[in-house]
Amino acid sequence: MHIQAKSFTISILRFLLIVISLQFVSCQERDQVTVLKLAHGLDPSHSVHMGMVYMAERVYEKSEGQMRIDVYPSGQLGSERENLEMLQIGSLAITKVSAAAMEGFAPSYRVLGLPYIFVSREHSQRVFDGPVGREILQDGEKFWLRGLTFYDAGSRSFYTKDRPINHPDDLRGLKIRVMPSISAVNMVRVFGGSPTPISWGELYTALQGGVVDGAENNPPSFFLSHHYEVCRYYSLNEHTTIPDVLLVSTKTWDRLTPQEQQWLQEAADESAVVQRELWIESEQHSLEMVKAAGVQVSYPDKQPFIDMVQPLYEAYKQDERLYDLIKKIQELQ
């Protein structure tokens, strides 16, 4: 009888353990959260970072906590190039890069780097938000890089150490840092300068050491990078309006449910609207700060620059698809 009671007690304990285990698994399934890692190289005070944080907040709200994006700024998980490679193998979900960095993956991105292809901020936003922008965003999918949205990165202008750039001739003989972009390299060559690709993280030291004589970028990047401490001339010729692009790994995207894909895309689109407002404020603040620091800010006549880059457009006539994109962009002026 004692043995039977003991056996019964063991059976009850086993049953209770099974019930508890099933309840634990059930709770895990109910509480399971889809977590996506987003890494980029910008400072947390940058408007683009703030836009991505807003996106993460909206994803969490839309999913009622079922989906979460963890944001890693300031190159914590690697350089821009490393983040792209991590997306391709699926070890990172989302990153933000300059659209120029995508030229080596998807040819259509090259047209966004053409000097003076956009006549105004409104023009560029019509392109980014419309069918042309969506076509370009999708062009990287064959390389496992799906575009979600474009962020405003303003217009890029030249900043230099020893003299202002008030005319294209002022660039002759100068070594100018450029992104690893065919469009940027060709542009500086047309102006008579020597294009020198250098990673963003190494640029401050390269300017200090005389490896390059100057660089080109938008006002917030010029200010937040502290490059104004070395380069005392900022010439707002606004030669290119290259956006930042938010990318998701297709390996990650394909694992998401249709509902999760919808949450992510909607949040990305909403964050672009917020980021653009933050960008305008950041741009104004950055210019005020570099002027206060003693930087000579000039506003050169753009027409000589525009005239000199026309051969770059002629070269694209050999590529029917890219030239068609250029014409579509120009029609949206």
pLDDT of residue 117: 97
Assess whether pLDDT exceeds 60 at residue 168: yes
Mean pLDDT of all residues in 251-257: 98
Mean pLDDT of all residues in 317-327: 95
pLDDT of residue 20: 41
Q: What is the pLDDT of residues 260-303, one digit of tens each?
A: 999 999 999 999 999 999 999 999 999 999 999 999 999 999 99
pLDDT of residue 31: 56
Edge to edge, the sheet with strand 34-39 lists 67-72, 34-39, 94-98, 244-249, 145-151
Q: What is the pLDDT of residues 28-80, one digit of tens each?
A: 334 599 999 999 999 899 999 999 999 999 999 999 999 999 999 999 999 88
pLDDT of residue 1: 45
Mean pLDDT of all residues in 237-250: 98
Calculate the average pLDDT of the chain. Answer: 91
Assess whether pLDDT exceeds 50 at residue 5: no
Assess whether pLDDT exceeds 80 at residue 222: yes
| Minimum mean pLDDT range among 48-52, 199-203, 211-215 | 199-203
Mean pLDDT of all residues in 220-241: 97
Assess whether pLDDT exceeds 70 at residue 205: yes
User: HEC states along the chain?
Assistant: CHHHHHHHHHHHHHHHHHHHHHHHHHHHHHHCCEEEEEECCCCCCCHHHHHHHHHHHHHHHHCCCCEEEEEECCCCCCCHHHHHHHHHHCCCCEEEEEHHHHCCCCHHHHHHHCCCCCCCHHHHHHHHHCHHHHHHHHCCHHHCEEEEEEECCCCEEEEECCCCCCCHHHHCCCEEEECCCHHHHHHHHHCCCEEEECCHHHHHHHHHCCCCCEEEECHHHHHHCCHHHCCCEEEEEEEECCCEEEEEEHHHHHHCCHHHHHHHHHHHHHHHHHHHHHHHHHHHHHHHHHHHCCCEEECCCCHHHHHHCHHHHHHHHHCHHHHHHHHHHHHCC
Q: Where are the domains of the chain?
A: 1-29
Assess whether pLDDT exceeds 60 at residue 14: no
Assess whether pLDDT exceeds 60 at residue 22: no
> Model confidence at 199, in pLDDT bands (50, 70, 90)?
confident
pLDDT of residue 201: 84
Q: What is the pLDDT of residues 85-126, one digit of tens each?
A: 999 999 999 999 999 999 989 999 999 999 999 999 999 999
Mean pLDDT of all residues in 203-228: 96
